Chains A and B, each alone.
Chain A
Amino acid sequence: MTQIALAPVEVLRDTPSAKAASRPVQVPCGVRHYRIGPVGVSLQSDVGHVAEAFHRQYTTYEVDRPALGSFRMDVVLKRSPRTLRRYHHIHGNGEELFVVRKPLSVLPHLEWAINLMIARYLPGFLELHASAMSRDGKAAIFPGAPGRGKTTLAAGLLARGWSYLSDEFALIDVTTGLLHAYPKALCIKKGSFAIVESLGLAVNDRVAHVKGKKGPVRFLNPLAVRPDAVSAPCRAALIVLPEYVPGAPARIEPLSAARAVFELAQVSFNFGRFRRRGFDLLADLASEARCYRLQSGDLEQTCRIVEQFMEGEYE
Chain B
Amino acid sequence: VIDTTGPHASGIRPSRREGLHARRFDDEIVLYDAAHHGVHYLNQTAAMILELCDGTRDERDLVNEMQRRFGTSFTSDQSSALAEQVRYTLERLTADGLIESSRLGESRGACSR
Contact = CB atoms under 8 A, between A and B. Distances in A.
A107 to B, nearest CB: 36
Interface residues of A, number: 32
Interface stretch (A10-18, A48-56, A168-176, A187-195): A10-18
Interface string A221-262: 000000000000000000000000000000000001111011
A258 B25 contact: yes
Interface string B70-102: 101111001001100100110011001000000
A9 B38 contact: no
A275 B96 contact: no
Interface in B24-79: 24-26, 28-30, 32, 34, 36-46, 49, 70, 72-75, 78
Interface centre among B41, B45, B75, B78 (most CB of A within 10 A): B41
A18 B44 CA distance: 30
B39 A265 contact: yes
Given A2-B72, A261-B23, A7 B37 contact: no
A122 interface: no
A258 B39 contact: no
Contact of B30 (A1, A6, A258): A258
A214 interface: no
A279 B21 contact: yes
Nearest to A11: B92
Contacts of B36: 15
Given A258-B25, A258-B29, A9 B78 contact: no
Contact of B41 (A8, A16, A258): A258
A276 B32 contact: yes
Contacts of B43: 7-11
A110 to B, nearest CB: 32
A13 B38 contact: yes
Interface in A107-142: none
Contacts of B93: 11
Contact of A272 (B21, B37, B42, B96): B37
A286 interface: yes
A15 B30 CA distance: 13
A208 interface: no
Nearest to B50: A11
Contact of A11 (B26, B41, B72, B81): B41
B38 to A, nearest CB: 4
A276 B34 contact: yes
Interface of B: 21, 23-26, 28-30, 32, 34, 36-46, 49, 70, 72-75, 78, 81-82, 85, 88-89, 92-93, 96
20 contacts: A2-B72, A7-B44, A7-B45, A9-B92, A11-B89, A11-B92, A11-B93, A12-B41, A13-B40, A16-B37, A16-B39, A18-B37, A258-B24, A258-B29, A258-B42, A261-B23, A261-B30, A279-B23, A279-B39, A287-B25
Given A9-B89, A257-B25, 15 more contacts: A1-B75, A4-B82, A9-B92, A11-B42, A11-B96, A12-B41, A14-B38, A256-B25, A256-B26, A258-B26, A258-B41, A259-B30, A261-B30, A261-B41, A275-B32
